Amino acid sequence: MPGSNLPGMTMYVLLDPRDYSIRYVGETRISLSNRLSSHMHDPRDNARTRWIRELTVRGNRPIIQPIHGTDGETEEYWISWFRDAGCDLVNTLGGGPHHVQPRELVERRVAAIAAKRADGTFKRRPRETKSACRNGHEWTEENTYRNGKGQRICRTCNRERQRARFDWKPKP
């Protein structure tokens, strides 16, 4: 089944109907319309429910769309994937049993670099001399995103890959 992660699970995103930005990544066993409805009636208070309430008080609702072509990737994978693509997600980092607080993550990363410096295995990134990505998009500040590993990500390429995953088109 397209869009599924574990058997019976559908990976999905919630989009803001005002600008079609992707704001949330989730997975569910129930139908997407039921999942959307449960999101809209979630009484808890967090970044996601505040965003949804901001929409519903104006008579709007998020758009729910399956992520197609997934190949067993976890929800966490997609959360970082969309964040790396520059999406402003209302997900709390990770979620589920692997939930890690951002602060802990940063501290762990700093500790890992310190340990590498101490034993001499820390290496700086090689100098980046190319002026464009492999598809010819210029590495301007605007077009460049650094992922968690400090690698350069081309926002234009990412956006194009992201578009290709959805079979919907924004209305003109």
Q: Least separation, in Å, of the C-beta of 162 and Zn ion? A: 12
CB 154 within 8 Å of CB 144: yes
What does the alpha-carbon distance between residue 121 and residue 91 come to, in Å, rounded to a whole number? 34
Q: Least separation, in Å, of the C-beta of 68 and Zn ion? A: 22
Closer to Zn ion by CB, 121 or 135: give it.
Answer: 135
Q: Least separation, in Å, of the C-beta of 138 and Zn ion? A: 9
Q: Enumerate residues 120-159 that contact Zn ion by CB under 5 A.
A: 133, 135, 137, 154, 156-157
Query: Which residue is closest to Zn ion by CB?
Result: 154
Binding track over 12-31 against Zn ion, x by CB under 5 A: --------------------
CB 95 within 8 Å of CB 76: yes
What does the alpha-carbon distance between residue 148 and residue 146 come to, in Å, rounded to a whole number? 7
CB 55 within 8 Å of CB 16: yes
Q: Which residues lie below 8 Å from residue 63, measured CB to CB, with a gap of 6+?
A: 14, 15, 16, 17, 20, 168
Q: Least separation, in Å, of the C-beta of 137 and Zn ion? A: 3
Closer to Zn ion by CB, 131 or 135: give it.
Answer: 135
Closer to Zn ion by CB, 9 or 85: give it.
Answer: 85
Closer to Zn ion by CB, 63 or 157: give it.
Answer: 157
Where on the phi/psi map is residue 50: left (φ > 0), alpha (ψ -120 to 50), or beta?
alpha
Q: Enumerate residues 72-101 that contact Zn ion by CB under 5 A.
A: none
Closer to Zn ion by CB, 33 or 135: give it.
Answer: 135
**Alpha-helical runs (H) found in the chain:** 32-40, 47-56, 75-84, 102-118, 155-164
Residue numbers of the site for Zn ion (CB under 5 A)? Answer: 133, 135, 137, 154, 156-157
